[in-house]
Amino acid sequence: MSSLPSLLILTFSPIRSDPRVLKQVELLKGKYQVSTCAYGAAPDGIDSHFPLPTDSRGWTSDRIGLITRQYGRVYNGMTAVQEARKILPVGHFDIILANDLNALPLALDLKPRLGVHADLHEYAPSEKESDLKWRLFVAPFMRWICRKQLPMATSVTTVSQGIADEYHRRFGVEVGVVTNAAPYLEAEPTPTAAPLKVIYSGAGQRYRKIELIIDAMKGVDDKVQLDFVVMPNEPDYVDELKRSAANLPNVRFIDPVPYEELVSLIRNYDVAMCFLPNSTFNLQNALPNKFFEAVQARIGVITGPSPAMVALVESYGLGVVTKDFSTEALRTALNGLTETETARWKTAANDAAWTLSAESQVALWDVAISDIAQRAG
């Protein structure tokens, strides 16, 4: 038997392709007896894994329960929760690290001996706020979990200060910030040459309004080449994007690569597109993976006026911020790119790479889990 405290990392996501959860695994394995519960195969180097069936879901389809506000029934009816209860022993783990709000009630029900840390990957009550039915029926369910369960967590973290502030304002819990920083890469900036190569990488989801970027490229001259690396989260939407860009000679879609290869791919470019229209609360406060991947790739960034990204761009001189979220403003920024300025951004990214790396940012998780483990004494 290991003398290390036992730690379950719980997520309703495919763990081997979830960058944030993989950072937790890498940080904590060896310091604790780490088990994981998630979709897919086990991450490397852990002690045990509890795989969830691929056809189970970490969200609700109980319309009657939502309408009648029978929220306990709604939560317990989620198929991922049901399957996890079958395989996870109650009272077995010392600590549980619950990823996202939908894992928190289960983590608390599993009664870890020392406590639960909740890591919230976004502001859950506004997750799909652009959908009217979601706002009317699902958002109240999310707020119910926040009111009932968040105060029971031993500690809580999230991805940006704006989201942390909102959780505190609405639900009275103290929330720390661990950004979605990418692992540090020992590297130097690559040379810049025409045509300037821009990359957009991310999830293919309609609420991200990726079509605005394609519209902006209509009118950008051929000194700029834009490549999209878009995951097929919503295949019909991704197909629409490809059709929209079909007649643009300086726009391409290239196949996604595994996460561990992404920064190496991005290093082939000069600038990363981190333009996220502020159509939802979470997008307004976004500080996404792609921003930090660009820094580790030692390339510049183009962002909209999103406060969290603007603060870092201006502090470290990492790129350009558009005047607003319009296609015209983005087109102006793209047409204004120069080799000289892009080279300067690459140097700035190199200077900021350690400070903005995962190794620097994840210390708060280390402290939070260690503080829970100290309860054993």
- Nearest CA to 272 out of 213, 198, 373 is that of 198
Mean pLDDT calculated for residue range 276-287? 89
pLDDT of residue 314: 96
pLDDT of residue 365: 97
pLDDT of 295 > 60? The answer is yes
**pLDDT confidence band for 369 (50 / 70 / 90):** very high
Angle between helices 307-316 and 161-171 (to 10 degrees): 140
With beta carbons less than 8 A apart as the criterion, state whether 20 and 28 touch.
Answer: no
pLDDT of residue 240: 97
pLDDT of residue 131: 87
- Nearest CA to 276 out of 165, 200, 364 is that of 200
pLDDT of residue 357: 95
Q: Which amino acid is at 323?
A: K
CA distance 228 to 254: 6
**pLDDT confidence band for 122 (50 / 70 / 90):** very high
pLDDT of 124 > 90? The answer is yes
pLDDT of residue 185: 95
Q: Residue-wise over 126-135: b if at least 16 C-beta within 10 A, else e?
A: bbbbeeeebe
pLDDT of 145 > 70? The answer is yes
**pLDDT confidence band for 207 (50 / 70 / 90):** confident
pLDDT of 257 > 80? The answer is yes
6-178+362-376, superfamily in CATH? Glycogen Phosphorylase B; (3.40.50.2000)
With beta carbons less than 8 A apart as the criterion, state whether 71 and 60 touch.
Answer: no
pLDDT of residue 50: 98
pLDDT of residue 109: 98
pLDDT of 239 > 80? The answer is yes
Mean pLDDT calculated for residue range 359-365? 92
pLDDT (tens digit per residue) in 151-187: 999 999 999 999 999 999 999 999 999 999 999 999 9
* One fold for 6-178+362-376 and 196-352: yes
pLDDT (tens digit per residue) in 300-346: 999 999 999 999 999 999 999 999 999 999 999 999 999 999 999 99
pLDDT of residue 259: 80
pLDDT of residue 375: 84
Q: What are phi and psi of 36, to 5 degrees?
A: -130, 150
**pLDDT confidence band for 377 (50 / 70 / 90):** low
Q: What's the topology of domain 196-352?
A: Rossmann fold (3.40.50)
Domain boundaries, the chain: 6-178+362-376, 196-352
Q: Which two tokens stand for residue 255?
A: 């196949």
